[in-house]
Amino acid sequence: MKVSASLHAANPLRLSEAVAAVAPHVGSFHVDVMDGRFAPAFGCGESLISRLIAAGAPPVDVHLMIEEPQRWARRFAGLGARCVIFHAEAVSDPLAVADDIRAEGSLAYIALLPETPIARYAALLEQVDGLLLLTAPPGGGEFNKAALARSHEAPKGLPLIVDGGLEPRHFDSLRSCSVELAVVGKALFGSRDLGDRAKRLDLLASGVAASTS
């Protein structure tokens, strides 16, 4: 398992420094695009995403926590994102959105809110590239253990991202659920030494080091 750094939690006044410090130790940058409607907050914009992608490794995953993601998914995929993640609950034809994303060369992942049963989208999950499970309310909140438990219902082999209130103490449970990427925000960017913290979290996520928190 690798850590995906949630840039929404980084200090916007020192963002370039934060990106440079954590980049060698994370599997991807996770960028939330929020419209203040689907999620009660506002996230990163197109300009930032474009600059991150142009800078090279690590890859960028774009999480659309917005209403009508079908209007914007292709545009963000066209920037060169590794994957574009959209909420199945926000669209009437998720397969059409997935096709638009793939047409631009990105992977198409769907996301599910903490209370959404996986069984509701079982057929869809057989036709997308991956799944993101929110384990906290959109925009932030406390980790919801029951929301993670749904992971056992996901199709075997489907790449899985978990996002929401994650701390190092959750990593053992995430690995047991075959999680590929753990999206970490405050637990990473709340540190004074971001490079050291990112390196430590990478070791914890991979299971090389044992968590004490």
Catalytic residue, chosen from 32, 61, 100, 202, is 32
Question: Alpha-carbon distance 186 to 205, whole Å?
Answer: 16
Non-local (6+) Cβ contacts of 153 within 8 A are 117, 118, 119
Catalytic residue, chosen from 35, 99, 129, 163, is 163
Active site residue 93: no
Going from the C-alpha of 148 to that of each of 54, 63, 69, 132, the distances in angstroms are 33, 18, 24, 10
Active site residue 61: no
Angle, in degrees to the nearest 10, between helices 194-206 and 15-22: 40
Smallest CA-to-CA distance from 115 within 84, 147, 161 is with 147
Smallest CA-to-CA distance from 126 within 155, 163, 148, 167 is with 155
What residues are annotated to the active site?
32, 163
